Amino acid sequence: MHHRLGLFLVASFALAACSEGQPAVGERDAPARVSLGSDAAIPLQPDAAQAEGCAWGVDTLLAKAGLSAPGRVNCGMFWSTESPLPGASCFEEQLLGGSDAEFTYNACDDCLAPTTYVGLRSGERVAVRMEEDGFGDALREAKVELCEQITAHETERVSCAFGRELYRCTEPLAMARAKPAPLPVTPRKLTDSIASSGPTTTLHLYVSNQSFERPLVDIDIFFNDEHVVIGDFDVAGQHNWLLFDLVVPTGPLQLYARSLRGRASLRGEPFEIAGERWAVLEYWFDPTPRFTVRLSDRPVAFD
């Protein structure tokens, strides 16, 4: 059964793709299904595996499908365990503001098979999937689909509705494949407050990359399993602490931080929050990757 995620997955994607003269989202009981042209508008690209190997990387795969979004905003990568999808506000804001945007969603609970959903200001909605986990078949697969809309349903939660395949390629995993660097994600809060049914207070969270080995490192931060901060953090001479003010519940609060490219994670013991607090989370690589965190009941200063 399909669900409407009225915040952005159905309503806002449809809104961003509406042509002039269509009624606005909210004026109809059912979400609009956006027409993206005839089947001949973007021809299916032939499998390139035999000739040159699979195309790889979002930009390369979009080009294979005859599309381009070079200045798009990356709203981040998210996982099947996260609900509601925390890329919602970023993706929606970029599309409604007239910018191309993307977010990546890994629907597999025990593997890495991400799909990058790209929204173009020209109206197209595209799903780009790159799978190299193997799944026992020792094959790498790349696929591009044109979506009527990006929607959610019970089993995968994010999907390309009524997708039309534009490009598909498979090749042996043994073939060497360079991985293009992902677009940087500007550090930002995903929420201003953590869910609570009781008293709250303010946590002033500073985040910093202290590693010249990883001058730009991805960091995701969770409190009580709620995704609150995402982004690629620049070392900037090791004097770059970004502040995120959060409304948090009083009582026990558990921090979880991870970096996929930085190969580090930290799940701290729950700490008690009785009033306003200051916290500093830092990523290091000296000589191994790690996170450190410190908590204070008074404002912190940096050298």
Per-domain residue ranges for the chain?
Answer: 2-172, 188-296
| pLDDT value of residue 253 | 95
C-beta separation of 258 from 283 below 8 A: no
User: pLDDT over 90 for what percent of the chain?
Assistant: 53
Answer whether residue 57 shows pLDDT above 50: yes
Q: Compute, in degrees rounded to 10, the torsion defined by CA atoms 5, 244, 261, 269.
A: -100
pLDDT digit string, tens, across residues 228-246: 999 999 999 888 999 999 9
C-beta separation of 204 from 281 below 8 A: no
pLDDT digit string, tens, across residues 128-137: 999 887 666 7
Ramachandran quadrant class, 74 (left: phi over 0; alpha: psi -120 to 50; beta: rest): beta
Alpha-carbon distance of 78 to 117, in angstroms, equals 11
The mean per-residue pLDDT over the stretch 98-106 comes to: 92
- pLDDT class of 153 with cuts at 50, 70, 90: low
Q: For residue 75, what is the enclosing H or E element?
A: strand 73-79
Answer whether residue 42 shows pLDDT above 70: no
Answer whether residue 62 shows pLDDT above 80: yes
CA separation, residue 32 to residues 28, 147, 161, 250, 253 (Å): 8, 13, 12, 42, 41
pLDDT digit string, tens, across residues 155-185: 457 889 999 999 999 998 888 777 777 889 9
Answer whether residue 77 shows pLDDT above 80: yes
At the topology level, CATH places domain 188-296 in Immunoglobulin-like (2.60.40)
Least confident of 68-72, 84-88, 192-196, 255-259: 84-88
